[in-house]
């Protein structure tokens, strides 16, 4: 017998369980049950998990929807790249497009009004992180993600890509103005 080999006669599942081990197993089981019950509760009553819809699309189809919205609701252009600022009416479907390394267009929404925000990517997987609201979504090419949002505080919100998407990832930011 050595420290590298266990005794040949010993069967581990027939060994008696210590009281302390049973105590910790019971605590782990109770905690797992609590967390299992809390998941649906957090989804319904917590404000961190948004219910959303997802649809199959192609970059070409989604790009046409975005361009139609931009042509219809553009109020001005901003930044050196002349990115359009779009002010759609309350309750409208609002489209935001992710592409290397830009969010397009800039949105201007009204406080207290509900919108359906559509997100999709033209090229790679991106991450939609709306700050300071802490809304996070994965934006994947070929899928159109739809969120119902109701802005509740006026001000400027920044969109950050939180999925590494290449060498210009650190510059991929966008804006949503709440009026």
Over the Cα atoms of the chain, what is R_g? 25
Q: What is the pLDDT of residues 82-132, one digit of tens each?
A: 889 999 998 889 999 999 888 999 999 999 999 999 999 999 899 998 888
This prediction's pTM:
0.72
Domains of the chain: 52-178 (2.60.40.420)
Q: What is the DSSP letter of 18?
A: P
Q: What is the pLDDT of residues 21-51, one digit of tens each?
A: 999 999 999 999 999 998 888 877 776 556 6
């Amino acid at each position: 017998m050595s420290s590298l080999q266990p005794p040949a006669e010993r069967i581990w599942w027939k060994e008696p369980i210590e009281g302390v081990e049973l105590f910790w197993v019971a605590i782990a089981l109770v905690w797992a049950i609590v967390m299992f019950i809390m998941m649906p509760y957090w989804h319904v009553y917590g404000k961190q998990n948004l219910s959303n819809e997802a649809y199959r699309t192609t970059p070409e189809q989604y790009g046409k929807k975005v361009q139609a919205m931009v042509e219809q609701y553009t109020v001005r252009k901003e930044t050196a790249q002349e990115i359009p600022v779009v002010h759609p009416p309350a309750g409208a479907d609002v489209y935001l497009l992710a592409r290397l390394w830009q969010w397009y267009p800039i949105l201007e929404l009204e406080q207290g009004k509900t919108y359906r925000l559509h997100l999709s990517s033209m090229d790679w997987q991106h991450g939609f992180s709306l700050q300071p609201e802490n809304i996070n979504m994965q934006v994947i090419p070929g899928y159109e993600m739809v969120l119902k949002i109701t802005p509740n505080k006026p001000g400027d919100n920044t969109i950050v890509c939180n999925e590494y998407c290449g060498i210009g990832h650190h510059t991929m930011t966008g804006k949503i103005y709440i009026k």
